[in-house]
Amino acid sequence: MTQPSDERIAGEDGIIALLRPLATDPAALGLRDDCAALMPRPGTDVVLKTDPIAEGVHFLPDDPPEDIAWKALAVNVSDLAAKAAQPLGYLMALSFPEAPRREWLMRFTAGLQQAQDAFGFTLLGGDTDRRPGPITISITVLGEVPHGQMVRRAAARAGDRLFVSGTLGDAHLGLQLLRSASQAAMWGLDDAQRTFLQQRYRRPQPRLAVCEALRSAARAAMDLSDGLVKDLGRMARGSGTSAVIHLDSVPLSEPARAAVAAAPDLRPALLTSGDDYEVLAAVAPEHAAEFSRLAQAAGIPVTDIGCMRDPEAEPVVVLDAQSRPLKIGRSGWDHF
């Protein structure tokens, strides 16, 4: 006899029925219509972002469904945070190669609920379909920001100080640990350190609390998803500037420092690896202290790692401890 946990959902309506409790906003119309109807609050602008995740690219096939759901929402909310926007709701399209198993979908739904509760928004609608290939979760998130106050990416100026939130490179190390259990021993990591790094890959933490600091003091900002060097290069080129950062200033977590101490060659890769989902901000020098103060007061650690400067041949230069330029090969993640 087939066990309940092994049962596959019967039809699209069965999938929607399990997702319906997530759609508590009246704008979702109980997921009983083809569209949602959302009215933005007076004096606000709507900020929109779409960022899909796919099995084998953004998450591993055996990752817990709860973590897959969390990541699907978190990577989108991270973009809103970098724009100084608060989330309003989201649309979700689920693509499966076959009908999902009931237990998997129930756990996935539980993960969505955890993320919704943490980020303060709900499901508004979406669609499901069946297609060849890996599971794909496509999220479109809607946010709001006071009118005219969205923080743009391509607005930095020469002389601006560059700040990053949190620590970088943890997700890259966590993915390596998930792919190879022996890496923890090679890097001299204990169980708590290994778990921390793995969770940084599976459950990124959008920096929504930094929104006020960005609106008050930042000139430009973006989230770091494809690697610091690559994303900073995008900001620099779009702003008509270049950037210089100091390797020793880039913040690392205690577990990452332990891994780098055991394998120093890891350090440059932490500047070009993706999945950090931290905030990069360009701040005018006269506002740097205010930005740092506001971020710290909101519980978000930020670190000054360098500055913007006039355009150069290289959009981003990384200096070592002796202020010598490092050779950086692959600048970051690219799908193509």
Higher pLDDT, 4 or 184: 184
Residue 166 has pLDDT above 60, yes or no: yes
Question: Strands 218-224, 122-130: parallel, antiparallel or unpaired by DSSP?
Answer: unpaired
- Chain position carrying tokens 């890959």: 201
Residue 90 has pLDDT above 70, yes or no: yes
Q: State the average pLDDT over residues 53-69.
A: 93
Question: pTM score > 0.75 for this model?
Answer: yes
Do the beta carbons of residue 23 and residue 122 sit within 8 Å? yes
DSSP string, 215-283: HHHEEEEEEESS-HHHHHHHHHHHHT-EEEEEGGGS---HHHHHHHHH-TTHHHHTTT-S---EEEEEE
Q: For 65-167, where are the E strands, in sequence order?
A: 86-96, 122-130, 136-146, 161-165
Share of the chain above pLDDT 90, in %: 88
CA distance 229 to 281: 14
Domain ranges of the chain: 9-146, 161-319
The contacts of residue 63 (CB under 8 Å, 6+ apart) are 202
Domain 9-146 has CATH 3.30.1330.10: yes
Q: DSSP class of residue 36?
A: -
pLDDT in tens, 125-158: 999 999 888 999 999 999 999 999 999 999 999 9
Q: Give the per-residue pLDDT at 1.
A: 36
Work out whether the CA dihedral 74, 265, 193, 104 comes out positive or negative. positive
Tell me, which fold does domain 161-319 have in CATH?
Phosphoribosyl-aminoimidazole Synthetase; Chain A, domain 2 (3.90.650)
